[in-house]
Structure 1
């Protein structure tokens, strides 16, 4: 992979990791006049950010009012108190609200990080006081990958689930147009434009489409800034440990580069931003609830070495949190070569009308249209009464044809390979479907019989599916009387198993409002900063809205860069 070569061994700042937190810190420090090096242990730039949905949650941002949702500090604090409460650090919460809007404005004005506030996107608990119906969550603006030149191949590719035709990125708007391409001229025009651009890219020799969206666009925009600023980045360079002086100040990083161990010195400090520990089996076993497994949607390189290094330097893990991870139900396809493909059931299928989730008894146990985080919490709560890990998502043929189910695509697309692989269950009766999936047949039939009549009337007396604005936001607005409810009645019936996966860890290294790592006495460790999922979540393991990982990552990366450059003058 192409990368910038720089053989110096002393810099003002060394940043470990190349996701949103790390690159935000690197860009800010460079723009504030410091000499910066980014080190990345893989051969790609972008980390978890590049494969994420890309939402960025920052209350009080300067686009919210124009998006139709003026915000106030009192309102944002009220919402965080009603969702995060004592699970999060109150001082860090205030620092986030102070710095977040400033960080986004700085990055917009001085880098290529361009975001657009959503005009309608309810917070995940819209009925709690202080919630907003939009404005707080922003999305990266589409990016032209051709601007990266040869370095486009250096950007980590998005998840295959965010692409069609083998490499054309699509968002929810694109998918709706592509599904309606034969029903609407506007959709046909939109679809043709996308496909022509994509095939033009491939004919030009690109390994995938250059129309870059979602988290991949955010990573690309940050990376483009790194290239423009001439910040050196070393790929395939794992960090092995932090160097400290006799007083405990962090003064450098031990690295493995080109097969040799070297020490790179940092005059001002080191920023640790390696993406958390979702693929560290020992740490998962210690901190995750049971049962757990290798179900994370994060890059498999995220094994917690940044957290380990920070702890070895005197840092401590956060406490008082509501949970160690940010949950998402994940279905698993074992490929012929034995590798496993993980599909995150985030926003596309669970909330749509005509799907239920059941445990091994065939009983429903959760509002299927709740947030992905709350859905997995529901799995864990229910698992003590009956086996709900894995749980089963069940629907009928009308649902699959319109919406698809996980990797089973809608619109009559081939599904036999998924059935043969044991990923997708299909049967002409609910009883046979249950037998295939290891669920009680009588229980599933009983559940569907009880669910269907009120669902046809738009009612869910058991769990209230479709009962709030967030539920309905992800449902089908054209389906009435409830955007999230419809009976399951047309054979064949379909199902997939889902497991308690995550999109990253929330448990991390304690830090202060200047992103400085804190020691066991609560004092900052000189020269050591943390950002991204290595930093203990400001949300304390709660998940109040879309973008609560990337919002703080960009924010505290910026905070770290400013503090490295200006010290106490950057107090926020």
Structure 2
């Protein structure tokens, strides 16, 4: 598909090629429209392609087919309690009503084949209405060779998330690769997976086995191309075009051939991934950034909030009242050759494991390390503001580091020497000397670890309750008894510095239940739609479970396509 020659007109113009944008285009095509997708970056897939790929939709048909219990009322209660007084009943009810329908559509009528997680607890499983599994879905692993030459236009995996120079690991892969030295079955699995990857590198010059978010993006892209939907990369939205009555009728774009306009009979859909790299808006909306703390985003650099700015220029309302401006994750910083540093997220592989704790520069723990990445950063931000510091530290012992890994320092048999040499990873045989390397209060760190170890002998953590919920234990090590998340730390010791970061923004454009963008007076702007992270999160800045961005993205993408076709 050409990436530079745009048509003069189309039925529906979709700005953005992540899950939300492709879902909107596919839905519109299914309902009889001829949509066109344009993407600012020179690759498609957006943040979806480099995400964990979880899709959270209560009462979805796959969990129901498996006999798993759920109800719309329970899910509504859970989201309401998570959102507090910011609860948006209109959008939540639309999500709960249309989400299962959207999942059935994509699973049955497109290449997006899904499976449900039989056990994957909501992030706050003790909350009313929470479930232990079923609501989260994953795309089945995908053979990228089905995309042909368009595979090379799909956003590649983030190199730091891969092994062997470009092989991504899905959730089953991680399980087996962490056990390959202890299980013959896992060793065979890992060997077959590596051989497949090596063959791909020789023949295709990149991985073709797509997992997690890349599988979502790849599968949606297959349907986009099968339906003949044009997908043009390297085109950035400059402004929205309206007719004399205020209806959005197209857009002005800049691309390889300069600036051009494209008319859109049924309007324009904004699905560009929010504003994680809009440093001005980020400083205004993220309270901790406004107070001087550093912040790093894991989202693609193209997500600079241009679509939101273009919408605001014609009167669209931006919601800025969420509890949190982003979906938080702690990050560490890997050094680049030019002296700069790039963020690496600490999502679920290390913090919850036994033998790992988090401390401030004062040497004291400040949070339950096994809570969700979003909750962890809320605790981290509070600690940094209280302490007047810009960072904190993850501390691990040798057994934890080699068994589970710590940040970008992967588990055995991966080598960690380069991380020690670069200073990314600190090591010492004594806590006191490690503390001095890191600028941590040595005396207090020794006291903290001694107190923690005393209780950890019995698997207890009375201070923060690490390992006390099913979600936390799910992320721990089931072989560690009696608490999958807790055991004493024994030298030698390691440390990695951590900072606040995000995997996307929560604040965005105000929309109706049908995906229509509202103006500042609450009225619909005719012909303008939005979905994905360009809209204000229906969770209002909370983070209830795995996949609460992609679930609503697919749902409202589906809704927007239907709405635009019938408008």
TM-score, normalised by the number of residues in structure 1: 0.96
Preserved CA contact (<8 Å) 2:430 2:491: no
Q: Per-residue deviation at 1:49?
A: 0.3
Which of the numbers 230, 235, 238 marks the counterpart of 1:237?
Answer: 235
Q: Per-residue deviation at 1:73?
A: 1.1
Q: Per-residue deviation at 1:294?
A: 4.8
Preserved CA contact (<8 Å) 1:121 1:137: yes
Preserved CA contact (<8 Å) 1:357 1:364: yes
Preserved CA contact (<8 Å) 2:4 2:233: no
- In structure 1, C-alpha distance between the alignment counterparts of 2:8 and 2:87, rounded to whole Å: 38
- In structure 2, C-alpha distance between the alignment counterparts of 1:183 and 1:22, rounded to whole Å: 43
Deviates more, 1:20-29 or 1:74-83: 74-83
- In structure 2, C-alpha distance between the alignment counterparts of 1:292 and 1:62, rounded to whole Å: 43
> 5 Å matches for 1:68-83?
69-83=68-82
Cα gap change, 1:7 to 1:19, in 2 (>3 Å): closer
- In structure 1, C-alpha distance between the alignment counterparts of 2:64 and 2:326, rounded to whole Å: 32
Preserved CA contact (<8 Å) 1:506 1:536: yes
- In structure 2, C-alpha distance between the alignment counterparts of 1:183 and 1:352, rounded to whole Å: 18
Task: Please give the secondary structure, in 2, of the residue aligned with 1:225.
Answer: helix
Preserved CA contact (<8 Å) 2:4 2:255: no
2:35 maps to 36
Task: Please give the secondary structure, in 2, of the residue aligned with 1:138.
Answer: strand
- In structure 1, C-alpha distance between the alignment counterparts of 2:377 and 2:79, rounded to whole Å: 21
> 5 Å matches for 1:7-46?
7-46=6-45
2:314 maps to 313
* 1:447-493 Cα deviation digits (max 9, x unpaired): 001100111211001000001011000000111010000111121x1
Preserved CA contact (<8 Å) 1:69 1:133: no
1:570 maps to none
Q: Per-residue deviation at 1:232?
A: 0.9
Cα gap change, 1:528 to 1:292, in 2 (>3 Å): farther
Q: Per-residue deviation at 1:417?
A: 1.7
1:151 maps to 150
> 5 Å matches for 1:287-302?
287-290=285-288, 291-302=292-303
> 5 Å matches for 1:223-234?
223-234=221-232
- In structure 1, C-alpha distance between the alignment counterparts of 2:366 and 2:452, rounded to whole Å: 12
1:495 maps to 495
Preserved CA contact (<8 Å) 1:50 1:158: yes
- In structure 2, C-alpha distance between the alignment counterparts of 1:361 and 1:227, rounded to whole Å: 55
Q: Per-residue deviation at 1:200?
A: 1.4
1:475 maps to 476
> 5 Å matches for 1:417-436?
417-436=418-437
Runs of 4+ in 1 over 6 A off after TM superposition: none
Preserved CA contact (<8 Å) 2:241 2:252: yes
Q: How many aligned residue pairs are there? A: 564
Deviates more, 1:288-297 or 1:391-400: 288-297
1:441 aligns with 2:442: yes
1:327 maps to 328
- In structure 2, C-alpha distance between the alignment counterparts of 1:189 and 1:440, rounded to whole Å: 46
Q: Per-residue deviation at 1:247?
A: 1.6
- In structure 2, C-alpha distance between the alignment counterparts of 1:457 and 1:3, rounded to whole Å: 63
Cα gap change, 1:293 to 1:306, in 2 (>3 Å): farther
Preserved CA contact (<8 Å) 2:331 2:345: yes
Q: Per-residue deviation at 1:389?
A: 3.6
1:558 maps to 558
Preserved CA contact (<8 Å) 1:379 1:389: no
- In structure 1, C-alpha distance between the alignment counterparts of 2:481 and 2:465, rounded to whole Å: 15
- In structure 1, C-alpha distance between the alignment counterparts of 2:511 and 2:532, rounded to whole Å: 11
Preserved CA contact (<8 Å) 1:11 1:265: yes
1:65 maps to 64
1:262 maps to 260
2:525 maps to 525
- In structure 2, C-alpha distance between the alignment counterparts of 1:368 and 1:263, rounded to whole Å: 50
- In structure 1, C-alpha distance between the alignment counterparts of 2:350 and 2:244, rounded to whole Å: 56
2:210 maps to 212
Q: Per-residue deviation at 1:212?
A: 0.5
- In structure 2, C-alpha distance between the alignment counterparts of 1:233 and 1:173, rounded to whole Å: 32
* 1:32-64 Cα deviation digits (max 9, x unpaired): 111111111111010000010000000111111
2:219 maps to 221
Task: Please give the secondary structure, in 2, of the residue aligned with 1:385.
Answer: helix
Cα gap change, 1:67 to 1:164, in 2 (>3 Å): farther
- In structure 2, C-alpha distance between the alignment counterparts of 1:228 and 1:340, rounded to whole Å: 40
Cα gap change, 1:411 to 1:7, in 2 (>3 Å): closer
* 1:235-257 Cα deviation digits (max 9, x unpaired): 11111010011221111000113
Cα RMSD of the aligned pairs, angstroms, is 1.4
**Unmatched 5+ residue regions in structure 1?**
568-572
Q: Per-residue deviation at 1:388?
A: 5.5
1:111 aligns with 2:102: no
- In structure 2, C-alpha distance between the alignment counterparts of 1:68 and 1:399, rounded to whole Å: 38
Deviates more, 1:169-178 or 1:517-526: 169-178
Which of the numbers 273, 276, 300 marks the counterpart of 2:274?
Answer: 276
Deviates more, 1:331-340 or 1:272-281: 331-340
- In structure 2, C-alpha distance between the alignment counterparts of 1:507 and 1:246, rounded to whole Å: 30
Q: Per-residue deviation at 1:423?
A: 0.9
- In structure 1, C-alpha distance between the alignment counterparts of 2:517 and 2:233, rounded to whole Å: 25
- In structure 2, C-alpha distance between the alignment counterparts of 1:277 and 1:122, rounded to whole Å: 29
Q: Per-residue deviation at 1:6?
A: 5.2
Q: Per-residue deviation at 1:195?
A: 1.4
Q: Per-residue deviation at 1:90?
A: 1.3
* 1:6-43 Cα deviation digits (max 9, x unpaired): 54211110000100111100111112111111111111
Preserved CA contact (<8 Å) 1:275 1:532: yes
Q: Per-residue deviation at 1:354?
A: 0.8
1:54 maps to 53
Q: Per-residue deviation at 1:313?
A: 1.6
> 5 Å matches for 1:182-201?
182-201=181-200
